[in-house]
């Protein structure tokens, strides 16, 4: 799956347009002038069929992802605002937000403990999206659709996302070269 990232503004730490094969979004990274947990705010201008409850659920998942990968700071934190402008389903949006959040943190030079990456594993009765801190290989988020056997979940969790980190690296390098 292709990943395209472009800087679209210099008015904040980092403002990016991110496109995946099926989804598009705008990501803005800024400082929170207080210490505490980072914030991830997700909105959609697309015809989001899952409703506001699904967006709130996604925000919670990604706040955990960001919290687990940022170096804590006593005086400030970060806010990532996500505007989904085109989507084609939950896994497409999860891929988009994961890629955009990772790119925003990297290109905004946020102090990171690790780089978040994600992948989807599909099975006959469902699928699972897993987000990991890449270098520590620790699960930091998950989203399940359908019925998945516990052994399938455990097998999916063992995967190391080398292809996914390479995809993110190429896209981020493309922005840095411009």
> Please, what are the averages of pLDDT over each run of 10 residues along the chain (178 residues)?
84 88 90 79 72 77 90 83 84 91 93 93 92 91 90 88 91 88
Does some domain include residue 170? Answer: no
Q: What is the H or E stretch that residue 80 is in?
A: strand 77-86
Does some domain include residue 178? Answer: no
The C-alpha angle with vertex 102 and arms to 122 and 47, in degrees rounded to 5, equals 65
Q: Which residue has the tokens 């990171």?
A: 112
Does some domain include residue 42? Answer: yes
Does some domain include residue 177? Answer: no
Does some domain include residue 169? Answer: no
Total domains in the chain come to 1
Neighbours of 48 (CB within 10 A): 15
Report pLDDT for 50.
Answer: 63
Report pLDDT for 99.
Answer: 94
Does some domain include residue 115? Answer: yes
Residues 133/69, Cβ–Cβ less than 8 Å: yes
Domain range for 159 is 3-164
| Domain CATH for 143 | 3.30.230.70
- Whole-model pTM: value is 0.89
The β-bridge partners of 20 are: 3
């Amino acid at each position: 799956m292709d990943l395209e990232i472009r800087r679209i503004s210099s008015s904040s730490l980092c403002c990016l347009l991110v496109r995946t094969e099926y989804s598009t979004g705008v990501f803005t990274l800024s400082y929170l002038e207080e210490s505490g947990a980072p914030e991830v705010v997700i909105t959609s201008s697309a015809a989001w069929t899952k409703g506001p409850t699904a967006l709130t659920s996604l925000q919670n998942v990604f706040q955990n992802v960001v919290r687990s990968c940022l170096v804590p700071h006593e005086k400030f934190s970060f806010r990532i605002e996500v505007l989904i402008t085109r989507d084609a389903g939950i896994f497409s949006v999860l891929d988009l937000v994961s890629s955009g959040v990772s790119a925003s943190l990297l290109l905004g030079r946020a102090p990171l403990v690790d780089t978040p990456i994600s992948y989807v594993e599909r099975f006959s009765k469902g699928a699972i999206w897993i987000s990991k801190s890449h270098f520590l290989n620790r699960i930091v988020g998950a989203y399940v659709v359908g019925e998945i056997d516990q052994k399938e979940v455990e097998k999916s969790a063992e995967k190391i996302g080398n292809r996914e980190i390479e995809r993110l690296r190429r896209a981020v390098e493309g922005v840095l070269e411009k």
